Chain A
Amino acid sequence: MNFNSYSLTKIAKEDKDTTYDLFFGPNHPGMHGNFGYVLDMVGTEINSVRPNAGQLHRGFEKLMEQRGWVQNLTLVPRICVMDPDPNEVAYCMSVERIMGVEIPERAKYLRTITLEMSRLTAYLLAIGGFGGTLGHYTPTHWSTADRDLIMDMFEWLTGGRVYHIYNIPGGVRSDAPEGFFDKLLEVMDALEARLPDYDSILFENPIVHKRLKGLGYVSKEDARKTGLSGPNLRASGNAYDVRKDVPYAAYPYLDFEIITQEGGDALTRALQIRLEYEQTINLIRQAVKKIPEGDVRLNLGLLGNLKVQAGEAYEKVESSKGEFGYYIVSDGGTKPYRVSVRGPSLPAGFLWAQKHLPTMKIDDVAAWMGSLSICPPDFDK
């Protein structure tokens, strides 16, 4: 068989009506995990799409029923690799709600700081993703290097770079080391100083504007109806943010406004990430300034034999992708009876894929996936 005669360029030029199946993924750099789409193509245009899920399924929810309350904390961050802390915090908040305990103030601030640092790493990865999926690799290399600065901070605070396992029912595992906050503020200054560079090569780049404008439009009504959340929802003009509407951790004490934009296309979502990135740096500065002295953890007895009284709770946090929620049922034992995870990516990854992709050309699929920041592990868990 002569493969040259089947190349995409040739199909585009000559065989405009050729129909074929294109496997977009499961290993694609535009997608953070083993998840892909099977595209029914006519020439270079997409006719229909089948989400190809299941290759990332590890049975998280069932595994959690077989491990202790605290042991599960090594499992939950793996549900979202780029932004692991919202999982830890949501899980811990649910357990604390069932136990009916209130964590110390300093622990709340430390949680907020780790959450926002985690958000920064995820946004930097998203900025790199925008560059990479458009074939513009400079921001990808830059953001990887900048992300490493925050990873170093995480290494100092928690001991781990990617999976921090820092939050625990009752607070956080250890207090911040000496000199940590000063260094963190320095890193924030360095990251803020980098923003004009990102603006000039990516967010103000006319080519990027041309490629992303009008791509994957989601109207204000539809975004709300289909359950989009996070930056995707706010880029469509809906002012909803869990941090503001159902405040948790130290967010009630911090001063910030919900950033919304009208537009609803991929370009607006890119700019939304850019604007929220700045807001996140500001939130970290505020939290470091206001952090009180005191304990960082409640004494809940023996860690390994922690028992949680019978009950159920649902707690949600705002991650960089949207609303992460943990519904936990306890029967009073040393293990959860049932844990159910609400991930933010389902509406984008399944529903909007089937609405948007059939109107697109093959070149725009990766950029579309990057713009909705789909994180497959949270629906294929």
Chain B
Amino acid sequence: MAIGDKSISAPLTAIKSLFKKPVTVRYPDEVLEVFPEKGVSPRFRGVHTNDLAKCVGCGSCERICPVNAIYMELPEGKEDVKKEYRPVIDYGRCCFCAFCVDVCPTVSLKMSREYDFTTSATMEMRDGEEVKFVIDEFMFRPTNEREDNIGYVTGKKMKVLG
């Protein structure tokens, strides 16, 4: 096929786009054409969710994490044995690769479809005081509070462990 230069008025065909609907929508709205449910795909890799009763504290997720974002920490008021430890995830480091979900032997660790992940940082600057950012909100222990919005899950068939 040949693509040559045409008349100078050929680019004016772009004017027809003026009569089309805009592609973008304003922030809290979503384009629901592809994914009717909240505009997010059913397999989206978002913020984690962890069924704390199912989790056995094996630490596989901590070992596979390529960016060292997962720490196994003891929840308050629990006996100090290995099986009581539960993962705490630092979302400042997390790269949302979902390898932790892939290796979870009990399928307790999953990813939700929540991607809206902003927080406000307080910054105080008085005379001679240091600037402080509250960053703790990016680091927490995932629980099953997002269980109703599950995204990336690795089924039993694809399991690599157990």
Contacts and interface: CB of A to CB of B under 8 A. Distances in A.
Contacts of A204: 3-6, 10
B98 interface: yes
Interface in A170-204: 173-174, 177, 183, 197, 199-201, 203-204
Interface in B7-35: 7-8, 10-11, 13-14, 17, 23-24, 34-35
A197 B11 CA distance: 9
Contact of B6 (A148, A183, A200, A297): A200
Contact of B35 (A142, A152, A163, A275): A152
Contacts of B5: 204-206, 209
A212 to B, nearest CB: 11
B64 A70 contact: yes
Interface stretch (B40-48, B72-80, B124-132): B40-48
A304 B42 contact: no
Interface string B62-94: 011111000000000000000000000000000
A197 B41 contact: no
Contact of B23 (A145, A275, A297): A145
Nearest to A141: B23
Contacts of A68: 64, 66
B3 A71 contact: no
B103 A304 contact: yes
Contacts of A38: none
Interface stretch (B49-57, B134-142, B152-160): B152-160
Contact of B3 (A152, A203, A207): A203
Contacts of B154: 174
A74 B13 contact: no
A303 B151 contact: no
A299 B152 CA distance: 20
Contacts of A304: 60, 63-64, 103, 161
B97 A74 contact: yes
B64 A200 contact: no
Given A67-B66, A200-B10, A209-B5, A302 B43 contact: no
Nearest to B96: A160
B121 interface: no
B99 A70 contact: yes
A275 B2 CA distance: 10
A165 interface: yes
Contact of B95 (A74, A155, A199): A74
Interface residues of A, number: 45
Classify the interface of chain B: helix, strand, loop or mixed. loop
Given A158-B43, A200-B14, A201-B11, A271 B3 contact: yes
Contact of A303 (B17, B24, B99): B99
A6 interface: no
A29 interface: no
A159 B45 contact: yes
Contacts of B103: 303-304
Contacts of B109: none
Contact of A159 (B4, B14, B44, B161): B44
A156 to B, nearest CB: 4
Nearest to B162: A302
A138 interface: yes
A376 to B, nearest CB: 21
B43 A159 contact: yes
Nearest to B61: A304
Interface in A56-85: 67-68, 70-75
Contacts of B151: 159
A274 interface: yes
B5 to A, nearest CB: 4
Contacts of A67: 66
A303 B42 contact: no
A200 B13 contact: yes
Contacts of B13: 197, 200-201
Given A156-B43, A203-B3, A274-B3, 15 more contacts: A70-B64, A71-B65, A72-B66, A145-B23, A152-B34, A155-B35, A158-B43, A159-B151, A159-B152, A174-B43, A200-B11, A205-B11, A206-B5, A209-B5, A303-B103
13 contacts: A72-B66, A74-B99, A142-B17, A156-B42, A160-B96, A163-B97, A173-B158, A177-B43, A200-B6, A204-B3, A205-B11, A302-B161, A304-B103
List of 10 A-B pairs having minimum Cβ-Cβ separation, nearest first: A71-B66, A159-B45, A303-B160, A209-B5, A155-B41, A145-B23, A206-B5, A304-B64, A156-B41, A204-B6
